[in-house]
């Protein structure tokens, strides 16, 4: 029998191997290498759909970039991976999924070793790991229902049972009335809901999510995020979420790691990272002001300005240091203060305004107070104002 095209069913009504945002669980006997035979005879791939503990040490060495990250995600728990552009987040997910070979280390799911360079490498389509990214990547020629039913069919459920499972998912995600719609007939938010349902209906032992909300508009994002929160909790799926947004991590993760240059530089529960970040990148993500300067006579010096504060660790006089400051703890005045600021950016959200100065210090204050400062108009880029930080809310760390 010839293999059917991706997303199509074969002559006996079984789904073919696919190339989609979700991992496919093809017929292992088609593959000839040793690791796959090991999987095919039932010893290599866990067959249950229970969530599994993910234990990995991912080392990927490229000519000009290296990732070296250890992860431990207990069964059913949710880890967020944060980091700047190019920090290595996608490389990490692809290594876990088997799309990027490890240079060293291991990936283990439950008690099954999926990869250890030199001895074992289970290919991506035989890992019970789902991968969902920014784009829904639904099969364009299949209805929403058949997209979702694809995973259960691949797992061996009959046509009727798979359809029933898919219908239940459509109910849950509020799209039962669009069961027969093709992807191009759905909005971006609806497509992403179907993609999430399709990924979870395939009962992955781990679900990897690479910025799954990034391509959605502001209106669709909260609904899809809510659905993801609910469904990850309901299915107790072990998950690893890559995001730039601490708000996503807050709702979608139990623990976070922050990557920079391929290494973990900060970690903790989302609440801890949002309120007491240790690394400047985490601080910036959480909305703190990050000021770089030199430690001098009990403060952080930047030009003529000095930011008083207490370092968390000993810093030598004259050494480079960084201050992490909560903008809401910084007073703003047109006439006097301790820090002469040149305004570079003014952002208004809700009822408050954040005013950033050229050195990175920022103040946040109610909209009306900000207007009162500048004779009825909001402060603007180029204004010269005074900041007065509260030293109790200035955290100074070595650079």
> What is the residue-wise DSSP string for 350-365?
TTEEEEEETTS-EEEE
Nearer to ligand ATP, 263 or 329 (CB): 263
| Closest distance of CB 259 from ligand ATP, Å | 7
Asked if residue 342 lies in contact with residue 358, where contact means CB atoms within 8 angstroms, the answer is yes
How far is Cα 384 from Cα 333, in angstroms, rounded to an integer? 10
Nearer to ligand ATP, 91 or 220 (CB): 91
| Closest distance of CB 88 from ligand ATP, Å | 4
Nearer to ligand ATP, 47 or 85 (CB): 85
Asked if residue 242 lies in contact with residue 89, where contact means CB atoms within 8 angstroms, the answer is yes
How far is Cα 6 from Cα 121, in angstroms, rounded to an integer? 24
| Closest distance of CB 269 from ligand ATP, Å | 22
Handedness of CA 170, 98, 87, 267 (dihedral sign): positive
DSSP 8-state secondary structure symbol assigned to residue 173: T
Nearer to ligand ATP, 90 or 220 (CB): 90
Handedness of CA 211, 215, 218, 223 (dihedral sign): negative
| Closest distance of CB 57 from ligand ATP, Å | 17
| Closest distance of CB 92 from ligand ATP, Å | 7
Backbone phi and psi for residue 217, each to the nearest 5 degrees, phi listed first: -80, 170
Nearer to ligand ATP, 49 or 247 (CB): 247
Q: Which residues bind ligand ATP (CB under 6 A)?
A: 62, 65, 83, 85-91
Q: Whose CA is closest to 164, among 149, 181, 183?
A: 149
| Closest distance of CB 119 from ligand ATP, Å | 24
- Give per-residue burial for 302-327: e unless 16+ CB within 10 Å, then b: beebbbbbebeeebeeeeebbbbbbb
| Closest distance of CB 274 from ligand ATP, Å | 20
Nearer to ligand ATP, 88 or 110 (CB): 88
First to last CA, the chain: 63
Structure tokens at 255: 């623990």
Nearer to ligand ATP, 39 or 259 (CB): 259
């Amino acid at each position: 029998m010839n293999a059917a095209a991706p997303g199509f069913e074969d002559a006996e009504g079984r789904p073919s191997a696919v190339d989609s945002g979700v991992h496919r669980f093809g017929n292992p006997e088609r593959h000839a290498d040793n690791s796959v035979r090991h999987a095919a005879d039932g010893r290599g791939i866990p067959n249950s759909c229970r969530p599994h503990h993910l234990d990995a040490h991912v080392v990927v060495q490229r000519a000009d970039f290296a990732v070296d990250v250890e992860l431990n995600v207990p069964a059913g728990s949710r880890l967020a991976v944060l980091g700047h552009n190019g920090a290595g987040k996608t490389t990490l997910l692809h290594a876990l999924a088997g799309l990027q070979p490890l240079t060293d280390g291991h990936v283990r799911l439950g008690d099954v070793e999926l990869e250890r360079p030199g001895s074992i490498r289970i290919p991506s389509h035989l890992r019970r790991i789902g991968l969902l990214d920014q784009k829904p990547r639904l099969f364009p020629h299949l209805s929403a229902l058949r997209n979702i039913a694809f995973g259960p069919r691949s797992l061996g459920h009959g046509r009727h049972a798979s359809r029933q499972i898919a219908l239940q998912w459509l109910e849950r995600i509020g799209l039962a009335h669009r069961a027969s719609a093709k992807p191009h007939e759905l909005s971006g938010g609806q497509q992403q809901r179907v993609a999430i349902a399709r990924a979870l209906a395939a009962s992955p032992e781990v679900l990897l999510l690479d910025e799954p909300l990034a391509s959605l508009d502001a209106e669709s994002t909260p609904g899809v995020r809510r659905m993801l929160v609910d469904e990850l909790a309901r299915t107790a799926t072990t998950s690893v979420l890559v995001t730039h947004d601490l708000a996503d991590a807050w709702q979608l993760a139990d623990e976070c790691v922050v990557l920079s240059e391929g290494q973990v530089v900060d970690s903790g529960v989302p609440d801890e990272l949002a309120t007491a970040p240790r690394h400047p990148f985490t601080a910036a993500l959480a909305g703190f002001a990050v000021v770089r300067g030199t430690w001098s006579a009990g403060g952080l010096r930047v030009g003529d300005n000095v930011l008083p504060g207490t370092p968390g660790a000993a810093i030598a006089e004259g050494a480079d240091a960084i201050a992490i400051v909560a903008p809401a703890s910084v007073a703003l005045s047109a006439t006097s203060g301790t820090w002469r600021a040149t305004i570079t950016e003014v952002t208004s959200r809700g009822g408050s305004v954040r005013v950033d100065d050229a050195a990175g210090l920022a103040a946040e204050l109610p909209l009306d107070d900000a207007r009162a400062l500048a004779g009825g108009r909001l402060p603007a880029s180029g204004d010269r104002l005074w900041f007065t930080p509260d030293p109790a809310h200035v955290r100074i760390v070595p650079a």
